[in-house]
Amino acid sequence: MERTRIAVSARWNGENKNCRERAAEWREQELPRARGGMERTGIAVSARWNGENKMDMRIRPRRLRGGENLRRMVRETRMDASSLIYPIFIKEGSGIVEEIPAMPGQYRYSVDTMGRKLEELLKAGVSTVMFFGIPAVKDEVGSGAYAKDGIIQKALAQAKRDYPELYAVTDVCMCEYTSHGHCGVLCGHDVDNDRTVELLAKTALSYAQAGADMVAPSDMMDGRVSAIRDILDANGYTQTPIMSYAVKYASGFYAPFRDAAGSAPSFGDRKSYQMDYHNSREGVKEALLDVQEGADIIMVKPAMAYLDVLARVKEAVHVPVAAYSVSGEYAMIKAASRAGYVEEDKMICETAACAYRAGCDIYLTYYAEEIARFIKEGRIG
């Protein structure tokens, strides 16, 4: 057998002793010697052989995995539907309910049709919504973002009138409103940071005046949180929180969103203002700066591939931390499940729980309604 490379684990010892006898001798002679060696080197020995084919162990981690009730009782990560935010796309026009091709199951709504989705969310227990606008007309300076009759301003007024219990958060950025698709005012082929900050502050104030409960700047311009805090406070909106997209990476995961919002840049990319995905210390720096400027909540975006950054930011700041599970994450799960490669429900639960486990307190996701249902059912949270 040895010549043919068949493993031989038992051999005749010439003493007519069977395997059980040899095992007993080993336990008596060799095991104490091995245990002593481990103890001398500081290795704790928590398991011993009791002679009845069972290990005598004091510590058995599997004890706390024995049943569903027990597993839920000892969970380290807790989730609640109140921490979910659903991103919704509102388009100029009427009677609009358009499915987004790159995000099956997600839709663009007009102001007169968005109510059906808001009602669904509220019934599911999701009471917070992030509004993204799609204007009819775009220009070089993104004036639709801060117009009194802009698409988001109209959506806020309608939503707060019909659903006063809804908590309305507004994304503050220029990319959906500029004709070139960049997140600010251009100077040549570069985004002019300081001129853009002025317009972002103007936009945030306009949203607060229209009824926004919270504003969320996503542009990644330097100093915009401070400018927004100043203009809100100066106009009496001292209680309007700022959730800053402080740690926002230049990511390929955003592609479906740009299709949904029509916000792809007409030239170049956004790497001169969004972060390099090779960096994590830079993310901590951005988060700390925004807290100093007055941010009440810090966001990390995307979520799935950046849980290490999320964990570092959570340790560094003493404000709530949000994570945005972006369009590409949604599209990947949706496509893989439709192809039969994964089970969608399980992927939704696992990715959400992992974000909370990494440190997020607030989770922005297109699966908010489903997650709220899974929490209610006890499948997660």
Cα–Cα distance between 109 and 120 in angstroms, integer?
14
For residues 343-356, one letter each, b for 16 or more C-beta atoms within 10 angstroms of the residue's C-beta and e for the rest, the string is eebebbbebbbbbb
Contact yes or no for 256/330 (Cβ under 8 A): yes
Q: Which of 164, 370, 360 is nearest to 243 (CA)?
A: 360
Q: What is the C-alpha to C-alpha distance for residues 112 and 94, in angstroms, rounded to an integer?
A: 6
Q: Are strands 214-217 and 167-172 parallel, antiparallel or unpaired?
A: parallel
Distance CA 300, CA 306 (A): 8
Contacts of 104 (CB under 8 A, 6+ apart): 334, 338
HSE toward the beta carbon, residue 56, CA cutoff 13 A: 5
Q: Is 301 a catalytic residue?
A: yes
* Helix, strand, coil distribution of the chain in percent, nearest 5: 45, 20, 40
C-beta of residue 303 within 8 angstroms of C-beta of residue 333: no
- CA–CA gap between residue 92 and residue 279 (Å, rounded): 38
Say which of 91, 154, 301, 314 is annotated catalytic: 301
- CA-atom Rg of the chain in angstroms: 28
DSSP 276: P
**Residue of 91, 138, 154, 248 with catalytic role:** 248
In 300-343, which residue ranges form alpha helices assigned H by DSSP?
307-316, 327-338
Q: Which residues are catalytic?
A: 248, 301
